[in-house]
Structure formats: C-alpha cells, structure tokens
Amino acid sequence: MIGKLPSDARPWPERRDAGLANATMRETLGLVTRRFSTGKRRVFLEDPAQDQARRAGVQAKRAAIADLDRLIAQFSSAVEAHGGVVRRAATAEEAVEAVKAIARQHQVQVVVKSKSMLTEEIQLNHGLEAAGIRVLETDLGEYIIQRAHETPSHILAPAAHKNRAQIRSLFETDAAEAGLRPPPSDAAETLTQYARERLRREFLEAGMGVTGANFGVAETGTVVLVTNEGNADLVASLPRVLVTVMGIEKLVARWEDLTLLIQQPAMNGIGQRLSAYTTLISGPAASAAEGPAAWYVVLVDNGRSRLRQTVFEDVLSCIRCGACLNVCPVFRQVGGHAYGSVYSGPIGVVETPLLTDFQVGAELPSVACTMCHACQEACPMDIRLAEHIVRLRQEKVRRRLNPPSLTASYHWWSRLWSTPEGYRRSLRLARAVQGLYRRQGRLVNAPGLARGWFQTRDMPPVAKETFLEWWARHRGGAS
C-alpha cells in the first residue's frame, strides 16, 4: 500500500529560496543544530562504551523489522491482555478515521496531544478539527507552531526556526485571545512559564489525550515515550481516554532491546545522556483516580510495509533522533520547510519518496543533497542514507522522472567527457564563455541544456589554468 504524506505544492526552487531568504530561521537553526551536534560529540566522548550499546541496539532493531509480522501480533495480544484496544490502520486516512471514531465513541470535544511526527504525517489535527473537535498541542515547540499555523521544521525541535522575539509575539496574540496576561519578556523561562500556565487549564478540560510512541515492546505490550517536558505524562494520565498513535516500525522484541536503544534518541539528537522523562504505558488505569479508563493503540502502516524486504528496509530503523538533520549542510541552510513535507533533512529526502512511491518529494534526492555523506556517518542506526539517495536518483532515471532537458544534458555531458579530447574542448569552451554567467566569483548559469543544472546549484568557474594544462606545460606535452 502506498503511503500518503502532506505536501507543499510550491516547486523546490521556490521553497529553497524562501528558506535561504529567511535570515532569522537560518540563524536560529544554525545555533540549534550546532548545539545539538556539539552535545552529541561530548556525550560519546564522555562515555565511549555507549557506542557498543548503540551497535547492539542497531542489531536488535534490524531483527525486529525482519520479524515485524510476528511482533505486531505479539504486541497486540499483550496490549489487549492488559485491557487496551489495538486498531490497525493501513493508510493515513484509516488512522485518522480510527482516532475520530474513538473520540466520537467517548463523546470527546477537546483533545490534548504530545509531540508526535506520525500524527503530523497523517494530518490528525486537521481530521479531528474537521470533525468539530478542538485539538491542543502541549509540547512547547508544537504549541508554538500550532499558534503560528505552521508545520515542524525539525524532527526533534519543531520550532527550531523561530527566535524568542517571534515566540513572544505569538504568545501575546494567544494571551489576548485567551484573556491571559502576556509574557512580560522574551526570556526562555518567561515564555515557558506562560505556556505552562496556559496549557495546564486545558489538560483538565480535555476528554482525550493523544501521544505518539518512541518504542513499543512486543513481549510486554508496553508503549515507551521519551520526552523532556513532562507534558506527555500529563497527556497520558489526566484525560479519561488515551490514544497512542504508533508506526508499526517502532516495535522491538524484548525489554532488553529497549534498554539498548532508550538513550539513543536523546544522546544522538540533542547530546543529552537520557531524556528527562521516560514514560511506560502498559494499559488503562485500574481506577479513574489513577489515569485514563480507556487506552487505544492505533498501529499505522502508511507505506512502511513497502520498504520491507527491500534494499531500503534499514530506513524503518529510524528512531527520529534528528542527528542527520543536524549535520546536513543543505538542511542547515534551507530549513525544514523547504523539503515540502513532514520529514526533512536526509531522512526526509530518503523516506518521503519511498513511503509515497515518488508521489511526494520525488525531486529531493536530486536537489537536496550534496553527497557529503555526513548524514550517514551521524546516523546512530547505521542507515545507509547517502547510498539510498544515490539509489533513489537511479530509480528516478529508471522511472523517467527527471525533466527531459536534464536527462539530455547528462547524456551529452557523459558523451563529451568520455574522451580526453572532448573533456579538454569543453573546458576551453567553458572558459571562453563563463564571464557571461558569473556572479560574485561563482558560475550561476550556463547556456542551453546545462541551464537546468544551475537551477539548484552554482559552482566555481573553470580555473585560468587547470592542473592538466599546468602539468602539460611543465612536462612540455600538449594540453
């Protein structure tokens, strides 16, 4: 079954240029991603043994993906044995319908949510709001972007593109609407305090809480959340109904596997030894005073099964740590929104076209990667991101998804550079005409078919004397 992901209809050059023109976003994103990457280096230097656990965790996750059908059955039985209810959803629409049906059944009018990329992927908020249900994000970053009517720009830090002045301004509008006192300054503590007070009231009003899941343990039927704000605990404990929306790939077989993996999202994503809160959910509460009376788990596929038993299967091991985003030179410049869908950075470049069978993000492997391989080195789950990007480029050629002008350009380029003479002549020609296409010391355009290549890139001009020419001159040979 082909997955469905939200998409931005604007073409890549437009999305990319909007990102490049947003100086505030580039500054804040640069600070955040550098801080995260430095923190990651520090924690692994402090505790090198963690890398052994990580490698064992990779093996455990690969084994779980290979055995997914059995684990799904085992997990479902265990959840139901504890009094929970499992719903399977093959598509995004089925998942949204399942959550809506649960809300209707329990006459829910207000839903509080903790951070979940999967619910962004299936556009759950839109679905619930269209059904007349008010949805409130309670993760600070998600709350900020919900107020801004935007989507997350980073898997871990959804509002990483906003600075404190922008957040304060959003909260001032929010306070005026809610009849509250606005935050008195843009200090981080003040803004957090405002959100905390604003959201506490909503927790008490909400009839249903919705969370995602970082892991699911098949042998015990346990859902595991790792968070830093404590909001997920309130979402999972205060409303009378709890719904966990979870991708099928989140399962691991055993409790021991979880212990290998549980530190990895925080260590690799933000350079923290362990997330501040680890929440384990194993069933509805025994009494109303202790938590939700009903617990549902919606297990979502939405294109994930198509990756199984293919060369791309390792993509399903992703733990959404964001480490590949933090080191990606393209992501750091254009920001998450330029990718035009919910998953950005290198994992988005790979996963978006794969889940949707190239319906969304087909352009990304060609335009949003410099082939620096930094993502592949950073990925704690050893996902072959850079190699997959090359494979996806090959797949685009096979499916004839590239513009004809690009295909023709590569064809002629390859023919020209197949002989030494063709290569030399093309350099001489480029040197003769490149003055027409220079801007600030870079080549930014070219005539004819090569023009398409420059739509997304620039390059240094051809040197006055190439190494081969210099070599020929010194050796007395012909250039």
The stretch near ligand SF4 (CB under 6 A) out of 59-67, 70-78, 315-323, 465-473 is: 315-323
Kindly list the distances between the CA atom of residue 56 and the CA atoms of 52, 124, 211, in Å, as whole numbers in the listed order. Answer: 6, 34, 27
* Sequential DSSP letters for 340-404: -SS--HHHHHHHHHHHTTTSSSTTHHHHS-----HHHHH-TT---HHHHHHHHHHHHHHTT-S-H
Say if strands 208-211 and 85-89 run parallel, antiparallel, or are unpaired.
Answer: unpaired
Query: Shortest Cβ distance from residue 376 to ligand SF4 (Å)?
Result: 9
User: Can you tell me whether residue 228 is helix, strand or coil?
Assistant: coil
Query: Shortest Cβ distance from residue 23 to ligand SF4 (Å)?
Result: 26
Query: Shortest Cβ distance from residue 460 to ligand SF4 (Å)?
Result: 30
Residue 369 is a binding residue for ligand SF4 (CB under 6 A): no
- The single residue among 118, 226, 318, 364 that binds ligand SF4, judged by CB under 6 A, is 318
Cβ distance to ligand SF4 smaller for residue 78 or 246: 246
- The single residue among 262, 321, 334, 368 that binds ligand SF4, judged by CB under 6 A, is 321
Q: How many residues form the binding site for ligand SF4 (CB under 6 A)?
A: 15
What is the number of residues in the chain?
479
Query: Shortest Cβ distance from residue 378 to ligand SF4 (Å)?
Result: 6
At 319, list the tokens: 């733990």
- Given a contact cutoff of 8 angstroms between Cβ atoms, the answer to whether 211 and 116 are in contact is yes
The stretch near ligand SF4 (CB under 6 A) out of 136-144, 179-187, 376-384, 445-453 is: 376-384
Longest Cα–Cα distance of the chain, Å, equals 91
At 261, list the tokens: 């993996």
Residue 320 is a binding residue for ligand SF4 (CB under 6 A): yes
Kindly list the distances between the CA atom of residue 417 and the CA atoms of 156, 337, 425, in Å, as whole numbers in the listed order. Answer: 44, 37, 9
Residue 323 is a binding residue for ligand SF4 (CB under 6 A): yes
- The single residue among 157, 294, 324, 334 that binds ligand SF4, judged by CB under 6 A, is 324
Residue 64 is a binding residue for ligand SF4 (CB under 6 A): no
Q: Is 361 left (phi over 0), alpha (psi -120 to 50) or beta?
A: left
Nearest partner of 347 among 319, 367, 372, judged by Cα: 319
Cβ distance to ligand SF4 smaller for residue 127 or 348: 348
- The C-alpha atoms of residue 378 and residue 460 are separated, in whole angstroms, by 28
- The single residue among 68, 111, 133, 319 that binds ligand SF4, judged by CB under 6 A, is 319
Footprint on residues 78-137 left by ligand SF4 (CB under 6 A): none
Cβ distance to ligand SF4 smaller for residue 29 or 443: 29
**Chain centroid, CA 317 distance in Å:** 13
Footprint on residues 381-410 left by ligand SF4 (CB under 6 A): 381, 383, 385
Cβ distance to ligand SF4 smaller for residue 198 or 320: 320
Cβ distance to ligand SF4 smaller for residue 210 or 383: 383
Query: Shortest Cβ distance from residue 109 to ligand SF4 (Å)?
Result: 35
The stretch near ligand SF4 (CB under 6 A) out of 65-73, 143-151, 280-288, 313-321 is: 313-321
Query: Shortest Cβ distance from residue 351 to ligand SF4 (Å)?
Result: 8
328: which DSSP letter?
A: -
- Given a contact cutoff of 8 angstroms between Cβ atoms, the answer to whether 33 and 178 are in contact is no
Query: Shortest Cβ distance from residue 266 to ligand SF4 (Å)?
Result: 12
- Given a contact cutoff of 8 angstroms between Cβ atoms, the answer to whether 108 and 207 are in contact is yes
Residue 322 is a binding residue for ligand SF4 (CB under 6 A): yes
Interaction site with ligand SF4 (CB under 6 A) = 155, 318-324, 347, 378-381, 383, 385
